[in-house]
Structure 1
Amino acid sequence: MKNGKPKLTRRDADGLFPDLQQSGAHLASRPDNPFGEEVSRTTDRRDRDEAKLWKDNLVTLPAAIELPPGYESVSHVRDAMERAWRMKWVRESGNEVVAEFPEGWAAARPASGPIELKDATGVVRAVYGWGGDAEVRLLPRYRVETQENSSSGLGSLLVRDRENGQILERSSTWSAKTGTNHPDWTRLSAWLDKQYPLHRDPLRLWTDCEGNRG
């Protein structure tokens, strides 16, 4: 007979750890949640909500971008967008590119017209169509807009701050000529150039863009 230590039986083990036997502990099961089932459900729900928010911030855009004044290439614009908007380019496939935007940004398809990329406050920062030749067009903070009188059919002009909707300057002339043909187009354009020399750059002058420049 071989000499050696006797085997430890289940009864012997129960004798060594009587508290486990009396409490009915689950030796081979998943440990009980010390924080309770409600905390577990809350954590699971929060994880799902965070995942949903992250997915909502992913927007598919056309790969092509209409070059704003002063930008030499699409890659130049993309680099500037990353810095100014704190967004990320995720992947590109064919004529499409997927981008991750800050929380609250989203793409919206109106009843008519191009798709609108809106920031967290609901301001449209870019528009784009869909198809093989579609391009993303970034929108500036300040611009000259046409104001139409539905009763007379005449049009006027105004300079709008698109970030807060404030009208900064307006024309007192109502004319059948609209847009760049309006008699006051040159005057208002010159006023805008003087007040905001960088207004043609859609990635400047916005509060978030300037703040993200460091």
Structure 2
Amino acid sequence: MLQRNPMKKGKTKLTRHDAERLFEGLPAGNVKTSSRPENPFEAGAFDVVERVDVESKLWKDNLISIPMAIELPAGYESISRMRESMVKAWRVKWVREGKSEVVTEFPEGWTAVRPKSGPIELRDASGVVRALYGWAEDAELRILPRYQLESQTNSSSGLGSLLVRDRMNGQILERSSIWSAQTGTNHPDWTRLSVWLKAHYPQHHDPLRYWEDCERNILG
């Protein structure tokens, strides 16, 4: 004779009314129904992100305003010719021209240092001063060469001497042993050191030559 299995006991099933009582007092939310899932990439989702990204690209630390006027070194017949050479040797980009200055994009790491006194110093990524310019509207950009014949003064005696310096690393390549009351081009050793500099670096007057970055960019 078959015996009837007793019904298994289970958890009490909640009615809809019981379930609603569990959430009494909570604010009702607006339920939005749709026949298809919402698109998480709908228009406007990335507007803010894209705007921030664009704005960050508009400003760069290596954007520097320099004078429109340039002190022309020997061998450069015009400012336009000089600017063409600057683009090639320094890899600069002319961004925006004003009345007396031009906003220029320099290679990464270049800066303009404004001392308390004296001209503004345009420095490359290694901190070497590559050019100078003044504060006035009619200021000119003076680009400095790598090799330079410099005067030095003895603070004790007041006498002057001369030396040839490699401005890229600060090394003194040649110097005069004469300390004289005559300084600059009047110094007794000025002619000798000028001849030495020209013999070793024939294009030393060109401020865009001999620098490692300039030579690399010009040849490249």
Tell me the TM-score normalised to structure 2 length. Answer: 0.75
Distance 2:116 2:194 in 1: 31
Aligned pairs for 1:28-39 (under 5 A) are: none
Deviation at 1:152, TM superposition (A): 1.1
Give a deviation string over 1:57-107, Cα, whole Å, max 9, x none.
Answer: 011111000111000100000000000001111111111111000000010
Given candidates 63, 73, 76, the residue that maps to 1:71 is: 76
Equivalent AA in structure 2 for residue 205 of structure 1: Y
More helix by share: 1
Q: What does residue 195 of structure 2 align with? A: 190
Tell me the TM-score normalised to structure 1 length. Answer: 0.77
Aligned pairs for 1:1-214 (under 5 A) are: 27=38, 51=57, 55-213=60-218, 214=220
The answer for unaligned runs of 5 or more in structure 1 is: 1-9, 21-26, 32-42
Distance 1:112 1:208 in 2: 29
The runs of at least 4 consecutive aligned structure 1 residues that moved more than 3 Å come to 27-31
Tell me the matched-pair count: 180
Seq. identity, %: 66
Answer whether contact 1:62 1:130 (CA < 8 A) is retained. no
Answer whether contact 1:83 1:212 (CA < 8 A) is retained. yes
Distance 2:106 2:141 in 1: 15
The structure with the larger Rg is 2
Deviation at 1:51, TM superposition (A): 4.5
Cα RMSD (Å): 2.5
Q: What does residue 27 of structure 2 align with? A: none
Q: What secondary structure sits across from 1:107 in the alignment?
A: strand
Distance 1:185 1:105 in 2: 33
Equivalent AA in structure 1 for residue 97 of structure 2: E
The answer for unaligned runs of 5 or more in structure 2 is: 1-32, 43-48
Identify the range of structure 1 (123-132 vs 164-173) with the bigger mean alpha-carbon deviation.
Answer: 123-132
